[in-house]
Structure 1
């Protein structure tokens, strides 16, 4: 059974915690997904995004594979093309939710991270996400997308997986059930303060993309 919750700082070992750095306009959440705890940094501060990227790079070196997802406020007839509001990237159990729409500028570290030829950015529909990122914010043009659907179809020899969503891939590849509440998916991602449900949704999406990619890469012998 999936159990994820977010709470303020607590001494209870099974509760999620969050801490706020007011000087850097950021908040760090611990999001539990089954036996994994995802340390998620939520920020619109370019300096904090740079610090996160530097920290992950120094800890892991250059990850070959990075989970990626993008969210935006749902399009309406009156606003047919809302810009990408958040960028989620996951390396290992670390996740960054960067609030693009509230950032005063985009740090060089982030641009370099996205354009690094040593990184494969994995996800479902990740090519479309990167194209939107480029259209809206002029970032990610040279990023290398790897769609998990095609990779899973090759690994499992099933063309049906080319049409699978992230939930089906998580079930097939990881043997886990993940929740993707429509109300959260269709929520206001351009809010300056994201809700705990949005943080959980975004963190798990990016992390599960990374985990699926990790398993598929291993099985494919990459």
Structure 2
């Protein structure tokens, strides 16, 4: 049975961002959705301050989403970037931003931080192609799992890794995976999906790197 997931929009009036609590099992993830560079600045500054004593151990779940194309000659740009550390998640909507925040460029390019995900190489290549945005230090969760004795997971997706390594049973409905990520107003299901992917990536990476 899938781990229960709920989402609650927080009653905070803002023209620059929306905030939610996404709950998966006992994990309550504070999630910020924005296209405003100053909100990204604040998120990153708060993150670095919170973890200031252990930045050399910082693991970040990273994922991206874009509108699927059914024409082989058309490749849509990345619509959202998800970053998650602990129970804090950012969903940044590239398609509606005025510019890429310098804080995000610096954060992604810091080789001290470890960005983790499944198929993260392809995601990072697309960020570079679409927005000239580089990520300095990436680790694929499948390779990490193999290095820790989970050789049978070498070709696994996030669902199998989540179940075996952190005990979370997640669903990845195709109708959400293939949905319109280019919409300015994402649905609750899209926000939950994007948040959970990034959070689970963080949880798996943190466990494989520092706990096993």
TM-score tier, shorter chain, comes to: over 0.9
**Given the superposition, is the C-alpha separation of residues 19 and 112 from structure 1 closer, same or farther in structure 2, using an over 3 Å criterion?**
farther
Shifted more, 76-85 versus 44-53: the winner is 76-85
Alignment of structure 1 residues 78-93 onto 2, 5 Å: 80-93=74-87
Q: Displacement of 1:3 after TM fit?
A: 1.5
Aligned counterparts of 1:217 and 1:31: Cα–Cα separation in 2: 25
Q: Displacement of 1:21 after TM fit?
A: 4.1
Q: Displacement of 1:17 after TM fit?
A: 3.5
For these two proteins, the number of residue pairs brought into alignment is: 208
SS of equivalent to 1:19: coil
CA contact (8 A) 1:20 1:26 kept: no
Kindly indicate whether residue 157 of structure 2 is the aligned counterpart of residue 156 of structure 1.
Answer: no
Other-structure match for 1:186: 178
Kindly indicate whether residue 70 of structure 2 is the aligned counterpart of residue 58 of structure 1.
Answer: no
Kindly indicate whether residue 174 of structure 2 is the aligned counterpart of residue 173 of structure 1.
Answer: no
TM-score (norm 1): 0.89
Q: Displacement of 1:76 after TM fit?
A: 1.9
Aligned counterparts of 1:52 and 1:153: Cα–Cα separation in 2: 32
Aligned counterparts of 1:102 and 1:21: Cα–Cα separation in 2: 19
Other-structure match for 1:13: none
**Given the superposition, is the C-alpha separation of residues 45 and 154 from structure 1 closer, same or farther in structure 2, using an over 3 Å criterion?**
same
Post-superposition Cα deviations, 1:76-129, rounded to whole Å, max 9, x if no partner, equal 217620000000000111000000111010111000000011111000011110
Aligned counterparts of 2:156 and 2:195: Cα–Cα separation in 1: 20
State the structure with bigger RCO (CA 8 A, min sep 6), 1 or 2: 2
Aligned counterparts of 2:90 and 2:123: Cα–Cα separation in 1: 16
Other-structure match for 2:110: 116
Aligned counterparts of 1:195 and 1:86: Cα–Cα separation in 2: 13
**Given the superposition, is the C-alpha separation of residues 51 and 21 from structure 1 closer, same or farther in structure 2, using an over 3 Å criterion?**
farther
Q: Displacement of 1:20 after TM fit?
A: 4.2
SS of equivalent to 1:68: strand
CA contact (8 A) 1:130 1:143 kept: no
Other-structure match for 1:100: 94
Kindly indicate whether residue 194 of structure 2 is the aligned counterpart of residue 202 of structure 1.
Answer: yes
Post-superposition Cα deviations, 1:20-42, rounded to whole Å, max 9, x if no partner, equal 4434x200100001001000000
Q: Structure 2 regions of 5+ residues with no counterpart?
A: none
Other-structure match for 1:26: 17
Q: Structure 1 regions of 5+ residues with no counterpart?
A: 7-15
TM-score (norm 2): 0.93
Other-structure match for 1:136: 130
1:35 to 26, 29, 35: 26
Kindly indicate whether residue 38 of structure 2 is the aligned counterpart of residue 47 of structure 1.
Answer: yes
